Amino acid sequence: MLYAEACRLLTRTDYTAQQIAEVLNFSDQSAFGKFFKSKAGVSPHIFRLKGVNS
């Protein structure tokens, strides 16, 4: 559920990774990035650049 919300925020908002980390209650942007990359296989930045359908 946390991963799904992160994906939604990355694709449907202009929030920075720092802002998303704060919204999702991660301790910092690095922790969010590590969590996201472990689930998606790419960083939040790359995920946002590629979009959902890539």
Q: What's the pLDDT tens digit per position in 13-44? A: 999 999 999 999 999 999 999 999 999 999 99
The pLDDT assigned to 29 comes to: 96
**Residue 52 above 70 pLDDT?**
no
Query: What's the whole-model pTM score?
Result: 0.89
Q: Are 24 and 6 in contact (CB under 8 A)?
A: yes
Query: Would you kindly state where each structural domain of the chain is located, as residue ranges?
Result: 2-50
Degrees, nearest 5: CA angle 34-28-13:
80
Among 3.40.50.2000, 1.25.40.80, 3.40.50.880, 1.10.10.60, name the CATH number for the domain at 2-50: 1.10.10.60
The pLDDT assigned to 54 comes to: 45
